[in-house]
Structure 1
Amino acid sequence: MHEFRHYWAQGIPVVVTHIQMQGTWDPAYFIKAHGEKKVTVINCETGKTKPIFVANFFKMFIEAVGKADGIWKLKDWPPTSEFAAMFPDLFADFENSIPFPELTRLDGVLNFAVHFPWNGIVPDLGPKGYNALGSVQDDCHSGSTCLHLDVTDALNILLWAANLEDGKAGHAVWDLFSPDDLPKLREFCWKTVGFKGPGDPVYS
């Protein structure tokens, strides 16, 4: 904990490996348990949305990268307020498996949000499910998440990834920037990308 807090205080991302989750949280589970539910997915490159059954999305989800008709994502499903009710096993497993529980659990004694007054406005702390098809790593495709600024520190756990087309293990890529880089990022978006607004390019 001491070493983690040393880096955390400096805003340095920390990677923790070998987190032991109890369940098997793969596409087959969601197809079996929630396949008949209808949800909305978003095309990460065009912004187009379409309704789809959970089973159909996760069948598409397990295909090799590049074979689907776009980079589709099922974002924040279910909504945070429903996560524990819809996924009680996953919620309990998540809470019991995350590292540095004193800080990261929703009831962690060092989690600042736990000590908000009962009638205070607490930020949305999750957990959330984020499921997206793989992106092609070239200059012609986008990732599945736009540039943004989180209002709180975040903990992300990669539960499953499809193999790549060459058979290698799948993975997630997070591009993280220091808060000190915000002016440079805004300048890059305005001058190089050609962002015209409205609003702040980091949030848009």
Structure 2
Amino acid sequence: MNGWSTLEGAAWSDCSPSPCSPPARRSLSTRPPRTPTTCRRKEPGVTLRTYDTRVPLTRICTLKPGQTPNVGKLVPAVDLRTAEDFAFEDNFVAHVLGNLTVPADGSYTFRLTSDDGSRLTIDGTTAIDNDGLHGVESADGTVALTAGHHSVFIEYFEAGGGQRLTLSWRPPGAEDFAVVPSSSTRSRCRPGPSPISARGTRSSSGGTRPARRTGDPRWMSRSSP
């Protein structure tokens, strides 16, 4: 036996009894697990993780636990504008993880710009909710922060059309917004010497929904953070 098994699976929709994406073939190792690799030192920038869903989402969804991102890499700043930045063009979910370094106590105003929906969480609390199907739109939120490090988590989804995800801020005393620079962020500790790249379809714990129709009241409510 060569230590590998092949399985097939598909993401299932809660609106249809049939799979909403073609089955994805997986090769899984039956060998004993390796000892976890020691995490690398945190680096300037943030960690981007992209998950291929292959179905048109209408809102931010919660991914089923234990799924490996199709692509995971370090990016200098949250200012992503092309399919090349995300490694996918349509029908995907992306997560941004990092730590924000704040130089002084004060009220910091953040601006989250996206196409389609996005949500910013700082220290476990939602700071900006810019969810839903839409073109390039910005939403602002002000958070009182103390000097030091704060965890940052951004959820994003893209259904179709252009891609955009930008995180800007206006620190105390600043007159205008600017993209949060890499000098103010640190990536989450991550294993391995190179970016993740894995094929396959990822699915959400709540299933997926068909694309929204204009005026359809079923899509007026949003999921809770």
TM-score w.r.t. the length of structure 1 is 0.24
TM-score w.r.t. the length of structure 2 is 0.23
More helix by share: 1
